[in-house]
Amino acid sequence: MKMLFIFFVFLLLSCGQGNNRVEKEQKAKDSVNANLVEPSENLNEDEWEAPAEVQEKNPLEISILNLYKSMEDKDEQEFLRQFPKDFEQFQDYFDWDTPNDAPHELYEHSVHYMEYLFYLLRTNKYPDYEKNIISICENGQWEPDAVNYFQHHVVNHIKESEKYYLIDELDDTRAKSVLFFLFDGPHPKLDAEFVSHLNASKKQILEDLFETAFFDDNENPDPFPDDQTNSTYTLSDYVKNEHFFIRDVDINNDGVLDKIVSSERYQGDELLLFLNDGEEFEFTLKTINFSEDGGNQIVDVIAEQGGFFIKTAFPDRGLNEAYHHIIFKDNGWILTNSIYRTQSSNQKDAFIHVCDVTQGLNMADTHFFEKLKGMPDEVEKDTVCTKEIL
C-alpha cells in the first residue's frame, strides 16, 4: 500500500511539470507574436521582401563634385549624366567668373573635360546625348577658353560624324540660336562645307546671320559671294598691321631670308609665305597657322634646319601644345610631323604625354586641314605616346 501511495504522488508531480512546460512554451510564442511588425499597407510586397543589398541605388545628385568624381573614375554614363545640359550651367562650371575676376571651379581643367566628352561621343555608344550638346549651344555666345573650345569641338563633331540632322531637325527659333553660337567669334567665318550640308531653311538662317548679326563692313563685306576671285597678296598689306606678325625665315633653303606672315592670336588662322627674289618679296602660298576656334592658338613661327615649325598652345592654364614641322620639298611645303604635348593632370604624380604624329601633307592641298591628324585620343595616348616626367 505504501508503494502504491508513493507511485501516485510521483505521477501527480510529473503531470504538473509537464503542464508548466507547455504553459512556458505558449507564453514564449505569444511574446514573439506580440513583437512582430506587420507590413505597412502602403508598402508593396516586392519592396517588403527585397533584401537591402539588392535595393536599387538612388541616382546621384547633379553637382560639380559628382561630375569631378565621375571624370576621375571614368564612369562614362555618370559623367554624361552629370555634364551640364545648358549654356548657363556650362559657364558656371568651366568659364571665367567675370564679375569676381576669378576662374570657376573647373576652369583650369576644362580642356580635359571637353576632350573626354567628345571622345565618348565619337565612340557612338551614346547617340542620345548628342542632343544635349546642342542644348548647351542654345542661347550661347562666344567667349575665349572653355566656351571657345567647346564651340570648336561641336562644329568638328557635326562635320566629322555628318550629324547635320542635329541642326536640321530644330525649329527655326532654336536653330537660329544654335547656329549663332556655332559661328560666333571675334572674326566670324563662314564654313562652306558645313553650310552645304544644311537643309534650305537652315542655310537661309545662317545666311541671314552673316548678313545681319555677324556682318561687319570691314571684316565681312560679302559673306556669300557669287563669284570666287583669286586674291593678290602683297607684303606691304601686313607690315605694321596689328592683326598680323612677320618672321624672317629661309623657307626654300636657298640661303636667303624670306617672309612668313601669320595672323596674331584670336585674329584668324592665316599663314602666308613670301619668297625673296632679290628685288621684292613675292607671294607664293596662303595656308593656315593651325589656330583653332575654341582650341590652340598661334604662339610663334620659328626657323629650324631645313624649314620651320609653327608652335600653338591652348590659351589657358595647364600644358597643351603642338609643334608642326614644315620642310620645303619638291617645290612645295610639306608638313612632315606634328608633336603634341599635354599634361596629364595637376596632381603630384602628373606627367606629360609627348605624341609624335606623322603627317606627310602638302600645305597647298585644298583639303589639307581636313587630313590633319590631331592629338591621339585618351585611349590611344597610353600606347602611341611617350611620357615625360615633370
Region class of 185: left (phi > 0), else alpha (psi between -120 and 50), else beta: left
Burial of 296: CB neighbours in 10 Å, binned 0-12, 13-18, 19+: buried
E runs forming strands in 174-319 = 244-249, 258-263, 270-276, 281-288, 297-304, 307-313
Residue 43, pLDDT above cutoff 50:
no
Secondary structure tally for the chain: helices H, strands E:
14, 12
- pLDDT the model gives residue 334: 95
Give the pLDDT confidence of 293-346 residue by residue, as tens digits. Answer: 778 899 999 999 999 999 999 887 678 899 999 999 988 999 999 999 988 776
Q: What's the rounded Cα separation, in Å, for the pair 132 and 86?
A: 8
Other CB atoms within 10 A of residue 97 CB: 13
- pLDDT the model gives residue 232: 62
State the Rg of the chain over Cα. Answer: 35
Residue 110, pLDDT above cutoff 80:
yes
- pLDDT the model gives residue 234: 87
CA distances from 361 to 308, 329, 357, 364, 367 (A): 15, 11, 12, 9, 10
- pLDDT the model gives residue 20: 52
Element holding 356 (H helix, E strand): strand 351-362
Mean pLDDT of the chain: 81
Residue 153, pLDDT above cutoff 80:
yes
Residue 49, pLDDT above cutoff 80:
no
* % pLDDT > 70, the chain: 80
> Does the predicted TM-score (pTM) go above 0.85?
no
Residue 369, pLDDT above cutoff 90:
no
CA distances from 331 to 47, 285, 308 (A): 77, 11, 15
Element holding 326 (H helix, E strand): strand 320-329
Other CB atoms within 10 A of residue 119 CB: 14
Mean pLDDT of the region 213-234: 51
Q: Are strands 332-343 and 351-362 parallel, antiparallel or unpaired?
A: antiparallel
Mean pLDDT of the region 79-98: 93
Residues facing 258 on adjacent strands: 249
pLDDT band at 39 (very low <50, low <70, confident <90, very high): very low
Is the CB of residue 271 less than 8 Å from the CB of residue 291? no
- pLDDT the model gives residue 5: 52
* 3-class DSSP state of 122: helix
